[in-house]
Amino acid sequence: MLEQDARIPFSRLARELRVGETTARRRLARLMTSHALHLRLLAEPAVLGYPVEGRFRLTVHPGAVDEAVRVLAREPSVRHLALTTGRTNILGYASHASMAELRTFVARAFSGLPGLHSADTSLLMRTYKRAGAPARL
């Protein structure tokens, strides 16, 4: 129910689950405190003024991965960052206001990145699904 409408009133949530409202509140709080459930707002970057999205895959020396990830996580435009297996070991996505901003980000963020061996960047042309939800087509 929360996936369909995270703003559902506790009274309705409790009624649908056939529990008291206090119980519904307590259970939701416990799920969130234990990090089993995260309520998030899904906003299309273009609507917020960031129509240019890029993906980057980096190969970083294993001894420098933690520091590289900390540096990248401080970048305001980076919206997703993960360690991966395969030819590369860091995957990230970033949103930008323009192509020029994307180019500036790549030059700045990757130029002094600790342990960087190689970088592969791609421009996302169209997104069909984001965070589990179909994009508006």
pLDDT of residue 133 exceeding 80, the answer is no
Query: Which residues face 92 on adjacent strands?
Result: 56, 81
Segments forming the whole domain that contains residue 102: 52-130
Domain match, 69 and 115 both = yes
Domain match, 56 and 27 both = no
Domain match, 62 and 124 both = yes
Domain match, 11 and 71 both = no
pLDDT score of 16: 92
pLDDT score of 34: 94
Domain match, 5 and 64 both = no
pLDDT tens-digit series, residues 61-73: 999 999 999 999 9
pTM value > 0.85: no
Question: Up-side HSE of residue 72: CA atoms within 13 Å toward CB?
Answer: 30
Residue 4 lies in a domain: yes
Q: Quick one: what percent of the chain has pLDDT higher than 70?
A: 99
Q: Give the number of domains in the chain.
A: 2
Domain match, 63 and 120 both = yes
The CATH number that applies at residue 110 is 3.30.70.920
Domain match, 80 and 21 both = no
**Residue pair 42/4 in contact by the 8 Å Cβ criterion:** no
Domain match, 35 and 97 both = no
Residues in CB range of 43: below 8 A, 6 or more apart: none
